Structure 1
Amino acid sequence: MKNIFKILPIIFLLSSCQIGRFVFYNFADIRDYKKFPNRKLQADSTHKYFFAKAEKGKFPVSIKNKEQKEISFDTFLKKTKTVAFLIIKNDTIQYEKYFGKYNQESIVPSFSMAKSVTSILIGCAIDDKLIQSVDEPITNYIPELKKNGLEKVTIKQLLQMTAGVKFNESYYSPFSDAAGFYYGRNLRKKIAKMKTNNQSKATFKYLSGNTQLLGLVLERALKNKTITAYLQEKIWTPLGMEYDASWSIDKKNNGIEKTFCCLNARARDFAKIGRLYQNKGRWNGQQIVSEKWVQESTKIDTSNGSAAYYQYQWWLPTRNGDFMAEGFLGQFIYVNPAKNVVIVRLGKREGDANWWEILPSLANQY
């Protein structure tokens, strides 16, 4: 009986607070979609889009590893802990491989690739006149943040990561804000405590807190509709997604989507998000999100503290018009409109590979 009382505090710690969950789960991995409550996205069985598949696709035979030794491309992907890799040219799959126990139907969490999806939904909300413009102060939607000094922060600053909010992005500390947002069970309460860092000049700083603020702006703008329901309406159904998916939320009852991460889907459906932006927001003749929004989201802009390699929640790896969504552990949706190429890489880890160089290099071979 005494041993039970010794164990009970440990059980309580592990089950009731973010630090306990951080310790218990040890570290984020690509099985995390099983750990959190979520809202479901459903594929429409009567309306699915399938990429064509080349009988003899053009794909890389070999690649140089970190030691500059030529090895087979498949071997390279295995060694870098890749679980899924797709190369799509002109809407045709040139290369599609899965590794380990993963296959075409395997779910992988997006991690921060969800930031780019959140940006798409902000664009849709502006198109639908639910949000007036990116120049609006976020306190138009989250008025309780005025008392925290955030009354001058705009939606655009959140999109560009120049908002100057206080947020500890460390993924390795159970006490960081990032851990609190990832493992915590009341994001709205945590958002209500966010403050400014009082920076005198706007500068780029990548912070997941910015995207979760965007999520609350979006939720308030949608009023009685969840963010997942809006994603279903604007993206999942119109794009003819092949599979069901989900978006992790902070708690079961009245939870909010973790918009800075945690969209759980399959490789081919992630590729369709890339195809949408490759085609400037159009999908088989229908304008899903305005072309203007796509252009603004992926252009190089260094004004007002914005970084040349980042725009509206999309990374810009080169100055050649390509862009990508990137997530923790090396999740990527890479888009090269000039080459009409979309590449998806999903992995257990980044695998000590410079994907920022590898993905543009692969696209340039087509």
Structure 2
Amino acid sequence: MTRRPLNEWTFTHMSLLLPSEPVPRAARPGSLPSAPRPLDFTYEWDGATRTPAELHARTRTTGFAVVHRGRLVHEAYPGRFAAPDRRFQLFSLTKSVTSALLGIALAEGAIGSTDDKVVTYCPYLAGSAFDGPTVEDLLQMTSGAGGEEDYEDPDAPVNRLMRAVTGRGTVLDAVRSVRPETRPGTRFNYSTIDSQVLGWVLEAATGRSLARYAAERLWQPIGAEFDAYYALSRSAPRTAVGGGSFNATVRDLARFGLLMARGGRAGGRQVVPEPWVERSRGTGLPHLEVGALGEGWPGGYGYANQWWTLGGPNRAFTGLGIHGQYLWIDPVADVVVVKTSAWPVADDPELDGETATALTALVERLAADG
């Protein structure tokens, strides 16, 4: 169901395949003024000058929106089942939503400190690989737990998690099956199970499900136009995947991006603490800087706070999800780009490289136009 040609349907109909919990839209949708303009940028890839239309065709775009200076300047839905009111499966872009919620919970005092041990909030993980790592370790993907996030390896931790989500075993057993690999806080190892545990920390600390907390603290304040939802595990107890089950419209994802581009402010109020947004643009830790993540990771990315960082003078950053989901944010250029996609496979370095090159060129063109 995640391979072409079925995945364009799958990624817009997850609520028909798994149980779900709604994240209700705002009573009064926030303003997202429209000021359409042609996207007349080009980018260089594979020895040729490419256009936006080629980007969409070559990288299987399903939904695309560009916000510049707070205005929606472009919106398109090349996907067969895509539309402005369609909720898209965002996969690991969910991690960036979880991060924002965790920053809010810290500011409210529900979570004491990122230095708190995970088992302080999740005592049922005592004796597991997560008995020792801190909340901070999980935020930076340095828990030291688990192996490679390899979607082609049936025994990889992420695939054990996905089997549990679809009803073959429990999510808790999948998480507890992970073994410690390195000392916490020392090495980057991208892991959806780290984010799953972060979601549990957040739920335990706030006394609310991820969906309910997201509705109250994020979806309402940004003035979301449409309901979002979290897909839940089929196995009991049903649980949201804090690292991969959020579904939302392109426009509302753009609203979330605009919130982060504006230092966590929306509708005249501070929704996400500004220091939390700043650390999401890069923490300064050498092993998490752009190009330093290690073998197997694209040199153009660093990592911070459940976001991928882009470095450079603008300190742009992006949420990413498998099969080509992007929330590209450049606060200095005041540009937010949302791209949903239906890649044939989960990870494709060539498609990612082309997309990153194109979005960089788009931001540079908008910034040059003023």
* Shorter-chain TM-score tier: 0.7 to 0.9
AA of the residue aligned to 2:358: I
AA of the residue aligned to 1:93: L
- The CA deviation string for residues 49-73 of structure 1, in whole angstroms up to 9 with x for no partner, is 2311114x252254444231x3432
Number of residues paired by the alignment? 340
AA of the residue aligned to 2:268: G
Residue 244 of structure 2 aligns with which residue? 261
CA distance in 2, matches of 1:22, 1:106: 18
Other structure's SS at 2:247 match = strand
- The CA deviation string for residues 273-297 of structure 1, in whole angstroms up to 9 with x for no partner, is 1111111111121111111111122
Does residue 343 in structure 1 map to residue 337 in structure 2?
yes
AA of the residue aligned to 2:20: N
CA distance in 1, matches of 2:2, 2:336: 34
- The CA deviation string for residues 253-307 of structure 1, in whole angstroms up to 9 with x for no partner, is 541110110211111111111111111111121111111111122224225x434
AA of the residue aligned to 2:126: K
Matches within 5 A, 1:218-229: 218-223=202-207, 225-229=208-212
CA distance in 2, matches of 1:353, 1:148: 34
2:140·2:305 contact (CA, 8 Å) conserved in 1? yes
How far 1:118 moved relative to its partner? 0.6
Other structure's SS at 1:325 match = strand
1:109·1:264 contact (CA, 8 Å) conserved in 2? yes
Does residue 327 in structure 1 map to residue 321 in structure 2?
yes
- The CA deviation string for residues 166-217 of structure 1, in whole angstroms up to 9 with x for no partner, is 2442212333221221231421232234332244871111111110110111
Other structure's SS at 2:318 match = strand
How far 1:356 moved relative to its partner? 2.5
Matches within 5 A, 1:248-327: 248-251=231-234, 254-303=237-286, 305-308=287-290, 309-319=302-312, 320-327=314-321
Matches within 5 A, 1:19-34: 30-31=11-12, 33=14, 34=16
The unaligned stretches of length 5 or more in structure 2 are: 291-301
- The CA deviation string for residues 312-352 of structure 1, in whole angstroms up to 9 with x for no partner, is 00101232310010000110000000011000111111683
Q: Greater CA deviation, 192-201 or 284-293?
A: 192-201
CA distance in 2, matches of 1:26, 1:76: 21
How far 1:357 moved relative to its partner? 2.5
- TM-score under structure 1 normalisation? 0.85
1:300·1:316 contact (CA, 8 Å) conserved in 2? no
AA of the residue aligned to 2:351: D
Query: Residues 142 and 75 (structure 1 numbering): CA distance in 2 closer, same or farther, change over 3 Å?
Result: same
Instruction: Find the partner of 1:122 among 96, 99, 102.
Output: 102
Q: Greater CA deviation, 75-84 or 26-35?
A: 26-35
Matches within 5 A, 1:155-170: 155-170=135-150
Instruction: Find the partner of 2:120 among 123, 135, 140.
Output: 140
Does residue 232 in structure 1 map to residue 212 in structure 2?
no
**Considering only aligned residues, what root-mean-square deviation do their CA atoms show, in Å?**
2.5
- TM-score under structure 2 normalisation? 0.85
Residue 17 of structure 1 aligns with which residue? none
Instruction: Find the partner of 1:75 among 49, 54, 73.
Output: 54
Instruction: Find the partner of 2:19 among 27, 37, 47.
Output: 37
CA distance in 2, matches of 1:201, 1:116: 20
AA of the residue aligned to 1:99: P
Q: Which runs of 4+ in 1 moved over 4 A?
A: 25-29
Percent identical across equivalent pairs?
A: 24
Instruction: Find the partner of 2:69 among 83, 86, 90.
Output: 90
1:144·1:192 contact (CA, 8 Å) conserved in 2? no
How far 1:250 moved relative to its partner? 1.1
Other structure's SS at 2:307 match = coil
The unaligned stretches of length 5 or more in structure 1 are: 1-20
How far 1:146 moved relative to its partner? 3.3
Residue 360 of structure 1 aligns with which residue? 360
CA distance in 1, matches of 2:118, 2:225: 35
Instruction: Find the partner of 1:48 among 18, 21, 29.
Output: 29
Instruction: Find the partner of 1:59 among 19, 30, 39.
Output: 39
